[in-house]
Structure 1
């Protein structure tokens, strides 16, 4: 995946290193929540053998075991194009956004 100027600007704005996801990375998305607000993203620190780098959901979180569905990163733009500009934030970053201009981005410490 080639990082865009918008991704670089987001990283600079929030003092993040630019950490481009690998082409083979997987994400986890709560498909049933798409269309709800706000949109949330969490970039994780990958563990050995784990290739999921981001978790995305909209609206409220659920701890149901089937809440998140894994998918290849290449499909993300079909479901949540709004989050593409955040993909190069380094692990540990989280965000909450909505289509009305709200944007909260922070690094979990």
Structure 2
């Protein structure tokens, strides 16, 4: 019997000692043109405008201003199911998954942080 999405999300938060943090309304920024590549990476920042704060891409990141496209959260399951377990990580967290069982998640240092 497989876990529900919520059970997977809670397990990821427990594994990485992160608070389970639901995502508010808004769209996810996703680089649709990269979804045929690996690995998947994401970062959750504070929501801005109609964006919920999640930015997802696969393969190599690009600074092209059109790299990310907005996607309604309800379409993520059909488009990119590998990222679902990570979507309840809190603001300030990043994740990595190769879609084959290798995963990592970490809290990124705040911009301008003096922590080493």
Do they superpose with TM above 0.5?
A: yes
Q: CA deviation at 1:51?
A: 2.9
Does residue 40 in structure 1 map to residue 41 in structure 2?
Answer: yes
Q: CA deviation at 1:73?
A: 0.8
- Unpaired stretches in structure 2, ≥5 consecutive residues: 110-116
Where in structure 2 are the equivalents of 1:1-109 lying within 5 Å? 4-22=6-24, 24-47=25-48, 49-109=49-109
Q: CA deviation at 1:99?
A: 2.5
The TM-score, its normalising length taken from structure 2, stands at: 0.84
Query: CA offsets, 1:33-79, max 9 Å, x none?
Result: 011011101111224x3533200000000111100001111111121
CA distance in 2, matches of 1:51, 1:101: 28
Query: CA offsets, 1:8-32, max 9 Å, x none?
Result: 111111111111112x321000000
| CA RMSD across the alignment | 1.7
CA distance in 2, matches of 1:87, 1:46: 13
CA distance in 1, matches of 2:100, 2:14: 22
The TM-score, its normalising length taken from structure 1, stands at: 0.89
CA distance in 2, matches of 1:88, 1:32: 24
- Unpaired stretches in structure 1, ≥5 consecutive residues: none
Larger Cα-atom Rg: 2
1:56 alignment partner, SS class: strand
